[in-house]
Amino acid sequence: MKQTMLKLTKIALLAAASLAVLSACNNEQASTPKEAAAAAESAMTASKVDGVRFIEKVTRGEGDDFVIPYEKYALDNGLTVILHEDHSDPLVHVDVTYHVGSAREDIGKSGFAHFFEHMMFNGSENVADEEHFGLITEAGGTLNGTTNTDRTNYFETVPNNQLERMLWLEADRMGFLLPAVTQRKFEIQRATVKNERGQHIDNQPYGLVGEKLNEALYPEGHPYSWQTIGYMEDLDRVDVNDLKDFFLRWYGPNNAALTIGGDFDRDQALSWVAKYFGSIPRGPEVGEPEAPTFTINKNRYLSYEDNVALPLIVMSWPTTTLMDKDEAPLDVLMSIIGTGDTSLLYKNLVKNGLAVQAQAGHGCQELGCTFTVNALPNPSGGASLADLERIIRETFEEFEERGVSDADIDRFKMRIVAGKVFSLESVSGKVSQLAAYQTFFANPNLSTEDIARYETVTAEDVMAAYEKYLKGKPGVILSVLPKGKALAPAKPDNWTYTPRTLPEYQPLSENDLEFRMATDDFDRGEKPPVGPAPEIHTPPIWRDTTPNGIAVLGAENNETPTTALQLQIHIGQREEPLDKLGLTALTFAMLDEATTGASKEELSGRLQRLGSSVSIGAGDDYASLVVSTLTDNLSDTLDIAAAKLFSPAFKEDDFKRVKNQFLQAIAQKEKNPGALADDVRRLLIYGGDNAFANADMGTADTISAITLDDVKAFYEVKVRKARAQIVVVSDLPQTKLISEFSAFAQWKAGDAKRAEIHAFPALETDAIYLIDKPDAAQSEIRIARRAMLWDAAGEFYKANIMNFPLGGSFNSRINQNLREDKGYTYGARSGFGANDYAGAFTASAAVRANATGPALTEFFKELDAYRKDGATDEELAFAKNSIVQREALAYETPGKKIGFLSNMLTFDLEPDFVDDQRAALNAMILADVKFLARQYLDKDDMIVVIVGDRDLILNDLTGFGRRIIEIDASGAPMAAQ
C-alpha cells in the first residue's frame, strides 16, 4: 500500500478514475485469477444465506489509491449491506444510514428527523430504556447519531467481540421501535431537543444565523428553508402518533444502508445480518428527492440584533447540487476567494486590519449548494458592514481580473488529496465514506471518481462557474448587529420574514397508522452473547534522543503513508507575569506569522501545495507545534515548521493585527455563557495570583499592555530556553525519523525554571456566584472544588472510576436524572481534571433557564446520595467493563497514538503504566468508591457558579442557604445579597 500511495504527491490519479470494480447481479469482474476466485467465493457464500443477494466486490489494485475495498449485498427486504474488512485493530464500526433528513419533513412538522434521532436511543421492543447506551458504553464502545437535511445515521465503534450484539441493537430499533415509543418518552425527548436548541442555537452568539439565512434564501416550503433542528412550535403542536407516522414512512430497510467495517469474519457477519434484519418488512417505496427550482430576483437584505460583541455580515448565493460538475470548480473558487492566508479576502480584509476574520464557504447538500462569504469587522479598522460588503464585491471583481492560476488549482487539489488520505486512517472514516456514497448515489465506490473531478478542474471551469452562479447574481445579505450599539446593517432591510402558512393540524390516531410486523423463528428478547474480549496490546514504542538533546517518543503506523508529530515545549501560561496575562499565547500566535524569509501567505501556500498542516498554540504548561503531513512531504513540511519556530520576523504590523484579534476574541468570549462559566470557575478555584488560573488568551487590559518587545523578550528568555520533546507516529522507521529531526537542530534548551505556584484561595462554599446574562435561554451551572493532582494509577485514576457511575457516562446518575428524567438539559456530567500541580472536581450542565433552581437541587441530591451510599455492585461492574474494554479503541489512529505518547512523555511514564491501571481497576471495590465519594463529593465543600438571566433565575437561587454573590466576567464582585 505504501508504495502506491506515495504517488499521491504527484497528483497522478486520473488513471484511477476507471474505478476498480464492479459488477451487479452476481457478475463481478476481477482483474486477476485471485480476485476472480474471491468473487466466486463471495457469490457462493452469499447464496447460502437465505434472503441475501451478492451485488459486487471491489478491491484495490495498482494505482487505485483511494479505493476502499468492500463487498456489497442486498436483503430481500431492500436493505443494502456493505462490508469492509480491516483487521489492523480489534474493533468494528457499524453504521446504519437512513435516506431521510429534514428535507423530507412535512410543512408544519419540522424537526421530526432530528427528533427521531433522539427517540432511536430510547429503547425498542426488546431493548430497555437507555439500554442501547448502556450496552455499548459497558462494552467500551462509542456511539452517536447525526441528522442533516438529507440523511440520518446511527453508528457505534466497539471491540470486535461485540458485533452480533450491535447488529441486534440496530435491527431492533429498525424493526421493533414503535411498541416502546410512549407519550412520556415523546415528552422527555421533546424537552431534550428544546434544550439542545437552547444550548447550541438560542444561547450561542450568532446561533440564529443559519435559520435566518435559510429563511431568506429559500422560498417558503422549500425543504431547506428550515433548519434540521426545526421550529419548536412545530414540535409543540404534534403528538406521539405524528412521530410514529414519520417512522413508518421513512425508516424501512429499503431506505437504509448498513455498513460494517473492521475486524470481523465476513461469513459470520452476513449470517447475523440475515438473522436480525432479514425479517423486517419493507417500508413504503422511496423515490429519489427532486431539487425544487427557485430564483432570487434581487438582493435580499435583512438584519437582526443578537447578544454579540461584533457585528457580522453574511452574503450567500444558491449554486448547484452535490457532485454536480460545477461543484468542484466552485470549491476551487471558494479557496481562492476566502480559504486561508492565501485568499483574496485575507489580503483585502484581514491582513490590513479591516476585519477580524473573513472567509468563504461552499456547502453542498443533496438538493442544493450555497456559496457564502462572511466577515467580522475590526472595530479599530473603522470599516462598517456596508464597507465590508463593498470590499467583498470588489474582491470578486479582482478575482475576475486576475483569473485562476495553476498554483490556485494545485493548492486546492493537494488539500483534497491529503484530506482523502487522512480520512483512511480510521475504520469509521472509511465506513462513513462508503455509507454516504451509497446513500446518495447507490454506489459506495466513488472515492476515486470524487478525487478525479477535482483533478480535472481547469481555470476555465472555475471562471465559467463564477459567471454562471455568482457574477452579477442577486443573493441574501444578512447583518447581525450587537444589541444596544446602534450600528447600521450593510443596507436597510428590504426583506422581512413572513410567518409560515401552516396547514390545519389533523391529529392522528393509532388506527390511522399502518404498522408492519416481523415474524421470526427465534426469540429477539434474548440478548446475543458476546465472545471473549480481544487481547489488547499497547503499540510498539521506541525512545530516542536527537543529537541536540530533544527526547523523542515514537510509534510506527503502516496503515497510511502519513506522519503526525507534536513538538512539546515546556512553557505555558504558568510562566507569565500577572500584568501580562496572555503573553505565551500571543507569542506563539506570532510564531505563526511571517518568518524572516517568507510571509505568512507564502508559508501557507507552500503548506497547501504539500497537503500539510503546521499549527502552533500554547496552554497552561506546554506550548506545541503540531505537524500533519503525507510522509513523502515530511522534509519540506518540517523545514516550514522550523522556519516558524526559529526565524519569526516579529513584524510590527503583524503584531498589531494579531493583538487586535486577541482583543476581539476576548470580547466575543465574554458573550459565550459556557466559556464564561468555565473561566470564572477556574479563577475562583485557583486564585488570581496564579497566572494559569486565568484564561489562556489573557484579559483585555493585559493584552493591551503587552508590547512587541515583551513578545521578543519572552521568546528569547523563556521559549528558547525551555525543554522540548517530540512525539511522533509515522510509517517511517525510527532511524529515518531521527535524521528528519535535524530540522530542529537549532533548539538549545536551557535551564529555565518553572514559575512558583501561589497558595490557592479559601473557597466561598457558602455562596452561589451569579453572572448576569440578560435574555439567556439557558443557565450554565458549574459546581466545583479543588481535588487531587494527576497520577497514572493512584487516587486520581481511582477517583475517575468512582465518578463514572455518578457523572462519567451517558448512563450516569446525573445525566439520567437531569436529561432523561427531568428534561432540564441536553447533557450533564461530572469528573476530575488535574495536572502535576493542580486538580479539581467539576459537575456541569447547561439547563433551560426556568429550571435553574430545580436543576441545582437535583445536582445536590445526586451528590448527597452518592456520597452517602456510593455505587451499587451493578454500577461498579458497569464502570469496570467499560473502562477496561475501551482500550480496544485507544490506539487505532495516529491521532490517538499521539495522545497516548504525549501523556507518557508529559508525565514520564513507561508503557506498562496501563498494566498498573488495569490492576488498580480490577482491585477497586465498593468500599473504595464510598471512601473516595465521601472524601471528594461533599457539596458543602464546593463552590457554585451560574451564568444566566438574573431577573429570571434569582428567586430560584435563594432557597439553598447560600449567599448570592453577583460577579462580572472577571470574577470581581458587583453586589452581595
Q: All 3 cell numbers of residue 176? A: 421493533
Q: All 3 cell numbers of residue 794? A: 493512584
Contacts of 95 (CB under 8 A, 6+ apart): 153, 154, 155, 257, 258, 259, 260, 261, 428, 431, 432, 435
Assess if residue 835 is contained within a domain. yes
Pick the last residue of a domain from 677, 711, 744. 744
Give yes or no for residue 12 having a pLDDT over 60: no
Is 361 strand, coil or helix? Answer: strand
Look up cell 476555465; give the residue.
460
The CATH number for 470's domain is 3.30.830.10
> Which residues partner with 784 through β-bridges?
842, 943
Phi, psi of 540 (to 5 degrees): -60, 130
Give yes or no for residue 62 having a pLDDT over 90: no
Would you say 738 and 621 are in contact if contact means Cβ atoms under 8 Å apart? no
Name the pairing type of β-strands 943-948 and 778-786: antiparallel
Pick the last residue of a domain from 683, 710, 744. 744
Per-residue model confidence as pLDDT tens digits over 913-925: 999 999 999 999 9
Contacts of 263 (CB under 8 A, 6+ apart): 85, 86, 87, 88, 89, 90, 91, 92, 160, 534
Contacts of 908 (CB under 8 A, 6+ apart): none
Which helix (H) or strand (E) is 726 found in, with range? strand 724-730
Assess if residue 282 is contained within a domain. no
Assess if residue 223 is contained within a domain. yes
Give yes or no for residue 234 having a pLDDT over 50: yes
Residues 624 and 717 in one domain: yes
pLDDT at 3: 29
pLDDT at 969: 82
Among the residues of 140-230, which ranges form H helices? Answer: 163-175, 183-197, 209-217
What mean pLDDT do residues 563-573 have?
95
pLDDT at 203: 87
Q: All 3 cell numbers of residue 446? A: 466513488
Residues 425 and 337 in one domain: yes
pLDDT at 48: 67
pLDDT at 840: 98
**Confidence grade of residue 720 (pLDDT, cut at 50, 70, 90):** very high
What mean pLDDT do residues 855-876 have?
97
Tell me 278's DSSP state: T
What mean pLDDT do residues 58-79 have?
90
Residues 222 and 318 in one domain: no
Assess if residue 781 is contained within a domain. yes
Residues 231 and 307 in one domain: no
Torsion of CA 951, 956, 960, 964, to 10 degrees: 0
What mean pLDDT do residues 2-9 have?
30
Q: What angle do CA 82, 83, 87 make, to 5 degrees?
A: 155
**Domain containing residue 372:** 300-437+445-482
Assess if residue 661 is contained within a domain. yes
Please state, in angstroms and rounded to a whole number, the distance separating the CA atoms of residues 953 and 950.
5
Please state, in angstroms and rounded to a whole number, the distance separating the CA atoms of residues 410 and 246.
46
Please state, in angstroms and rounded to a whole number, the distance separating the CA atoms of residues 606 and 637.
9
Neighbours of 781 (CB within 10 A): 25
**Confidence grade of residue 732 (pLDDT, cut at 50, 70, 90):** very high
pLDDT at 783: 98
Neighbours of 913 (CB within 10 A): 18
3-class DSSP string for 782-823: EEEEECCCCCCCCHHHHHHHHHHHHHCCCCCHHHHHHHHHCC
Torsion of CA 933, 936, 940, 943, to 10 degrees: -130
Residues 167 and 314 in one domain: no
**Confidence grade of residue 754 (pLDDT, cut at 50, 70, 90):** confident
Give yes or no for residue 529 having a pLDDT over 70: yes
Assess if residue 534 is contained within a domain. no
Contacts of 618 (CB under 8 A, 6+ apart): 571, 572, 573, 584, 585, 587, 588, 624, 696
**Confidence grade of residue 29 (pLDDT, cut at 50, 70, 90):** very low
Q: All 3 cell numbers of residue 360? A: 468563504
Give yes or no for residue 26 having a pLDDT over 60: no
Q: Which of 181-195, 572-586, 695-709, 795-809 has the lowest mean pLDDT?
A: 181-195
Is 737 strand, coil or helix? Answer: helix
Give yes or no for residue 937 having a pLDDT over 50: yes
pLDDT at 32: 44
Would you say 240 and 181 are in contact if contact means Cβ atoms under 8 Å apart? yes
Would you say 699 and 505 are in contact if contact means Cβ atoms under 8 Å apart? no
More confident position, 3 or 795: 795
- Left (φ > 0), alpha (ψ -120 to 50) or beta: where does 382 sit? left
Please state, in angstroms and rounded to a whole number, the distance separating the CA atoms of residues 316 and 478.
8
Please state, in angstroms and rounded to a whole number, the distance separating the CA atoms of residues 57 and 68.
11
Assess if residue 395 is contained within a domain. yes
**Confidence grade of residue 750 (pLDDT, cut at 50, 70, 90):** confident
The pLDDT mean for the chain works out to: 92
Give yes or no for residue 37 having a pLDDT over 90: no
Residues 631 and 773 in one domain: no
Please state, in angstroms and rounded to a whole number, the distance separating the CA atoms of residues 601 and 414.
17
pLDDT at 144: 95
Name the pairing type of β-strands 963-967 and 767-772: parallel
Neighbours of 370 (CB within 10 A): 23
Is 353 strand, coil or helix? Answer: coil
Residues 311 and 270 in one domain: no
Assess if residue 527 is contained within a domain. no
pLDDT at 33: 41
Tell me 578's DSSP state: G
pLDDT at 41: 54
Residues 602 and 554 in one domain: yes
Domain count, the chain: 4
Contacts of 944 (CB under 8 A, 6+ apart): 767, 768, 769, 781, 782, 783, 856, 962
Neighbours of 456 (CB within 10 A): 14
Per-residue model confidence as pLDDT tens digits over 790-831: 999 999 999 999 999 999 999 999 999 999 999 999 999 999
Which helix (H) or strand (E) is 842 found in, with range? strand 839-848
pLDDT at 66: 86
Is 509 strand, coil or helix? Answer: coil
Give yes or no for residue 10 having a pLDDT over 50: no
Give yes or no for residue 457 having a pLDDT over 70: yes
Q: All 3 cell numbers of residue 869? A: 451510599
Residues 452 and 557 in one domain: no
Please state, in angstroms and rounded to a whole number, the distance separating the CA atoms of residues 690 and 838.
11
Q: All 3 cell numbers of residue 782? A: 458549574
The count of C-alpha atoms lying within 13 angstroms of the C-alpha of 610, restricted to the half-sphere facing its C-beta, is: 26
> Which residues partner with 834 through β-bridges?
839
Contacts of 37 (CB under 8 A, 6+ apart): none
Residues 168 and 104 in one domain: yes
Q: Determine the straight-line distance between the first and last CA of the chain, rounded to whole angstroms.
A: 69
Q: Which of 335-349, 750-764, 859-873 has the lowest mean pLDDT?
A: 750-764
Which helix (H) or strand (E) is 260 found in, with range? strand 256-262
Residues 729 and 780 in one domain: no
Phi, psi of 450 (to 5 degrees): -60, -45
Is 162 strand, coil or helix? Answer: helix
Residues 316 and 461 in one domain: yes
pLDDT at 19: 30
Please state, in angstroms and rounded to a whole number, the distance separating the CA atoms of residues 540 and 565.
17
Tell me 383's DSSP state: -
